[in-house]
A and B are shown apart, each in its own frame.
Chain A
Amino acid sequence: MDTNTRANLAATAAQARLLGLEMVYSAASGHLGGSFSAMDILTLLYQRELRVDPARPGDPDRDRFVLSKGHCTPALYPTLALRGYFPAAELGQFRAIGGHMSGHAEMHHVRGVDMSTGSLGQGISAAVGMALAGKLDGKDYRVYALLGDGELDEGQVWEAAMSAAKYRLDNLCAIVDVNGLQIDGPTDQVMPTEPLDQKFAAFGWHAAACDGHDFDSIDAALAAARSEKGRPTVILARTVKGKGVSFMENNAGWHGKAPNAEQYQQARSELAAQVETLGRQAGWSGDRLSAALTGIPNKEGN
């Protein structure tokens, strides 16, 4: 990956975090911790990995993405907006009764969403079904699913893992956002699931690892998944929950709460500084930078 690509991805992810923050603040609810840990992964997926065309979200030959950790819409929706599926202004309708930006991922409401998710453990099964359909039809599309590490407590994930191995779904790539925290605390205390690499390997998967905030590392793992034949790949991405906002990082308390006005201002200034620095490194124009720093356009009080 060249320097400019890397810088662009970093700046885009920072902009997506700013949008996610504003979504959750304006809705006064939503899940920031796990969204911010996954933001770099999602940005790389939609900006570089997935073969998709925002003008044709229903293309039968497109790559699919399933947000199995379906509560992380403050990561997915900004990512889709920045990829061009819909204007960022729509993010202002997040969780609003009159809007279409539902709290959990919605395939029929939000353009670009491939599967409705929210109940943990279910998205990965749907991804297995999509991959199976691809094999059945002889299509070369790939299917990606993003799971949380807490989500791996669900038995259905392991049922899905067995079935993906049985059908040799090398067109399936699961990515686990291993941020180490779930609602009640550290995952190793709530329900120990390690060693994940050995578990997935024992279930017949190719297990890869990466640093979920290092674009080269994620990219290399995705490339390894693409070249794997005869079995599905899981990428265990080490991440920091709440990544990008100092007081949210590694804090289980930021799983599913909205910041107050003061916290919002602090988070916003931290993220805006990142957008500015990274945008300049990426060579963004003054106009692009100022649009990125605006956050959600036409939001209340803006």
Chain B
Amino acid sequence: MAEHIATRAAYGQALAELGEKYPDLVVLDADLSGSTMTKAFADKFPDRFFDMGIAEANMVGVAAGLAACGKKPFVNSFAMFSAGRAWEQVRNSVAYPRLNVKIVGSHGGLSVGEDGATHQCIEDYAIMRAIPGMMVLSPCDGPEMRLAVEALVHYDGPAYLRLGRLAVDSVTDEVPGYQFHLGKGAQLRPGADAAILATGMMVQEAVKAADLMAGEGLSVRVIDLHTIKPIDEEIVLKAARETGALVTVEEANVVGGLGAAVCETVCTRYPVPVIRHGVKDLFGRSGAAQAVLDAYGLNAQSITNSVRCAIDRKEQMLRR
């Protein structure tokens, strides 16, 4: 039975649960604990929860100090502010000294919806990925998020974790043999004509797109890249070799994010056509979340067009 839950909700549950097992786990928020779902942890472990007010730069620095004294801090705000506003603090106070701080960005992407462009962070993958040594994660559903949070508690080093606002259907729990490992993608559907490599809640859309295309007689592989950095080169290159046509799908600007990471991987090792499906270097805008996603082509129907395009390119190249 598929679960219907926002990844931020699964994250909040996981934190509150893991708090029991890990006494060094501490949580910081910037006046958004109801939205980032850290409230459950705050209620359960008030001594280990720090509301730092609307001051993200200081929050990240305080987390660095806590980590320097052996704590495992998770720092929370909307992606726009934890990754965006505090970028340089993440870079200099956390990543450069390689302190064990997890930067969590909730409400990532356009699915923030009504709040509009100022709160729709579509650059977090790119800007976090640009920092040396920074791990970047964007799990797609509740079960995967819970596994990611526990893995991050164990992982000693800086990482960025994107959470989504909208409730989404689970997809990973119905895949036989699915396993979660940091830095490793997971194949959710087999396929040989093309491969869709997706992250975050675009994974669900990728699965739907593959199903739609199966109806047209096309076999489309779906790979869930919950870890954007370090990218799973093995699974990406395997998809390139075996399908010859790749489509990356992300709820983010196509500049510098998952699409860029996949292109960087294949360009020197096994060049094949890659269509980067995402926000095409535009700001978002206000609207109901699904309406905004549709307006920017972040849905299964639109993804099928990109897949056809990738297959066309492959065939053009083969004819040359």
Q: Which residue of A lies closest to B67 (CB)?
A: A129
Q: B residues 45-79 with Cβ under 8 Å of A? A: 47-48, 50, 52-53, 55, 57-58, 60-71, 73
Which bucket holds chain B's interface residue count? 20 to 34
B14-71 residues with Cβ-Cβ distance < 8 A to A are 26, 47-48, 50, 52-53, 55, 57-58, 60-71
> Which chain B residue has the least Cβ–Cβ distance from A126?
B65
Q: B64 contacts A129, CB within 8 Å?
A: yes
Chain B residue, CB-CB nearest to A118? B92
Chain A neighbourhood of B68, CB < 8 A: 107, 114-115, 126, 129-130, 133
B178 at the interface (CB under 8 A from A): no
Given contacts A116-B96, A116-B97, contact A125 B65 (CB under 8 A): yes
Q: Decide if A125 touches B53 in the complex (CB within 8 Å).
A: no
B98 at the interface (CB under 8 A from A): yes
Q: Is the CB of B66 within 8 A of A133?
A: yes
Which residues from A are CB-within-8-Å of B98?
A: 108
Does B88 have its Cβ within 8 Å of any Cβ on chain A?
yes
B306 at the interface (CB under 8 A from A): no
Whether a CB of chain B sits under 8 angstroms from the CB of A156 is: yes
8 Å CB contact of B71 from A118, A127, A133, A166: A133
* Nearest residue, chain B, Cβ from A116: B97
Q: Decide yes or no whether A159 CB sits under 8 A from chain B.
A: yes
Whether B93 is near chain A, meaning CB under 8 Å from some CB there, is yes
Residues of B within 8 A of A66 (CB): 65
When the two chains form the complex, which single residue of B57, B67, B70 contacts A125, counting CB atoms closer than 8 Å? B57
| Whole-angstrom CA separation of A163 from B67 in the bound complex | 17
B82 at the interface (CB under 8 A from A): no
Residues of B within 8 A of A126 (CB): 61-62, 64-65, 68, 93
How many residues does chain A have at the interface if contact means C-beta atoms less than 8 Å apart? 33
In the complex, are the beta carbons of A115 and B58 less than 8 A apart?
Answer: no
- Cα distance A118–B89 in the bound complex, in angstroms: 11
Residues of B within 8 A of A124 (CB): 61
Q: Is the CB of B70 within 8 A of A133?
A: yes
Which chain A residues border B62 with CB–CB below 8 Å? 125-126, 128-129, 132, 160, 163
Which chain A positions have C-beta within 8 A of B67? 129
Interface residues of A in 123-163 (CB under 8 A from B): 123-134, 136-137, 155-156, 159-160, 162-163
B22 → chain A, closest Cβ, in Å? 14
Are the C-beta atoms of B69 and A122 separated by less than 8 Å?
A: no
Question: Could you tell me which residues of chain A, from 3 to 35, have a CB within 8 Å of some CB in chain B?
Answer: none
CB distance from B172 to the nearest CB of A (A): 35
Q: Check A125 against B97 for contact (C-beta < 8 Å).
A: no
Note all chain A residues with C-beta closer than 8 A to B73: 129
Whole-angstrom distance between the alpha carbons of A90 and B246 in the complex? 53
- Complex CA gap A167/B26 in Å reads 15
- Once A155-B57, A162-B53 are accepted as A-B contacts, the answer to whether A136 and B47 lie under 8 Å apart by CB is yes
From B69, B92, B93, give the contact of A134 (CB < 8 A).
B69
Shortest C-beta distance, B23 to chain A (Å), equals 10
A115 near B50 with CB under 8 A, answer no
Q: How far apart sit A115 and B84, CA to CA, in the bound complex (Å)?
A: 23
Q: Known contacts A118-B92, A122-B93: does B66 contact A130 (CB below 8 Å)?
A: yes
| Nearest CB in chain B to that of A107: its residue | B97
| A115–chain B nearest beta-carbon distance, Å | 6
Q: Roughly how many angstroms separate A132 CA and B66 CA in the complex, as a whole number?
A: 7
CB pair B97–A156 under 8 Å, yes or no, is no
B contact residues around A195 at 8 Å (CB): none
Query: Could you give, for residues 83-115 of chain B, a 1 whenever the CB lies within 8 Å of some chain A CB and a 0 otherwise?
Result: 000001100110011100000000000000000
Which chain B residues border A160 with CB–CB below 8 Å? 58, 61-62
Distance from B64 Cβ to chain A, minimum over Cβ atoms (Å): 5
- In the bound complex, how far is the Cα of B60 from the Cα of A130, in angstroms? 13
Tell me how far the C-beta of A275 lies from the nearest C-beta in chain B, rounded to whole angstroms: 34
User: A107 — which chain B residues lie within 8 A by C-beta?
Assistant: 68, 97
Residue-wise, chain A 107-119 has the 8 Å CB interface mask toward B (1 for contact) of: 1100000111011
CB distance from B303 to the nearest CB of A (A): 41
Q: A119-B92, A133-B69, A136-B71 are in contact. Are A128 and B97 (CB under 8 A)?
A: no
Closest to B66 in A: A129
Tell me whether A60 is interfacial, beta carbon within 8 Å: yes
Contact A162 to B55, CB < 8 A, known contacts A136-B47, A136-B48, A136-B71: yes
A134 to B61 CA separation, bound complex (whole angstroms): 16
Q: Are B61 and A129 in contact (CB under 8 A)?
A: yes
On whether A125 and B61 interact (CB within 8 A), knowing A108-B98, A162-B55, A163-B52, the answer reads yes
Q: Hey, which bits of chain A sit against chain B, CB under 8 A?
A: 60, 66, 107-108, 114-116, 118-119, 121-134, 136-137, 155-156, 159-160, 162-163, 166-167
* Closest A-B pairs by Cβ, 9 of them: A129-B65, A125-B61, A159-B58, A133-B69, A126-B65, A159-B55, A129-B62, A116-B97, A130-B65
Can you offer 22 A-B residue contacts whose CB atoms are under 8 A?
A108-B98, A115-B64, A115-B68, A116-B96, A121-B57, A122-B57, A122-B61, A122-B89, A124-B61, A125-B57, A126-B68, A128-B61, A128-B65, A129-B61, A129-B64, A130-B65, A130-B68, A136-B48, A159-B57, A159-B58, A162-B55, A163-B62
